[in-house]
Structure 1
């Protein structure tokens, strides 16, 4: 007998809205975002619009192609699957490099201000 380790996976609406929030945060909600989704996944325009609105979520091949290109979609999907340690492994390295770039930019600005 298997033990139940976690709650059930989100229903279709929670899945669709969770990915929509992630995609909107990364791409926005403009027509350019729709075109980007179409290019990434080879989906048609109506399908990509539905993903951004949260009307329905990507399935199968489209989901695989989407998370291949979108860190936000991958993080959202892993979070819904309660694989938070996997989220940390995928997001922390990029967060660290972003922080290092920010620190370097601050150091450059400070050294430029302090020079006579």
Structure 2
């Protein structure tokens, strides 16, 4: 079973990684989730973690929270799929950039 204190710390770390550098991170997450700012501040301070609808909404808006939930659910297989998909997208972007360097006169470059 997942320990609530550890989960709260992990969520706080995920939120900090995703939103930490933004000046109004608490307000932004509150707006995204529909939760009040005091609740969101508690998440950032690891006093407690989100549950239910708020957690699902966070997963929709935060790759870090999504990855955390998949790790907690021991679904590394899904994390592998996400990683491969992201790597393929980065590779396609790199190929497109290289094509642009080789063919600078083509449209879009």
Distance 1:40 1:95 in 2: 27
- CA separation in 1, counterparts of 2:28 and 2:22? 10
User: TM-score with structure 2 length normalisation?
Assistant: 0.77
Counterpart for residue 4 of structure 1:
none
Q: Secondary structure at the match of 2:48?
A: coil
1:56 CA displacement: 0.8
**2:76 is equivalent to residue 97 of structure 1:** no
Residue 70 of structure 2 corresponds to 78
Unmatched tracts of structure 1, length 5 or more: 1-7, 112-116
Q: Matches of 2:44 and 2:94 in 1, distance apart?
A: 30
In the alignment, structure 1 residue 60 sits paired with structure 2 residue 28: no
Aligned mates of 2:40, 2:21 — CA distance in 1: 11
Deviations 1:4-30 (A, max 9, x none): xxxx32x01111111111111111155
Query: How many equivalent residue pairs?
Result: 103
Supply the RMSD in Å over aligned alpha carbons.
Answer: 2.2
Using the alignment, how far apart are the partners of 1:20 and 1:103 within structure 2?
Answer: 36
- The 1:85/1:23 distance shift into structure 2, 3 A limit, reads same
User: Could you tell me whether the CA contact under 8 Å between 1:29 and 1:52 is conserved in 2?
Assistant: no
Report the alpha carbon displacement of residue 64 of structure 1 after superposing the two structures with TM.
1.2
Q: Distance in 2 between matches of 1:65 and 1:110?
A: 40
Establish whether residue 42 from structure 1 lines up as the match of residue 34 from structure 2: yes
Establish whether residue 20 from structure 1 lines up as the match of residue 20 from structure 2: no
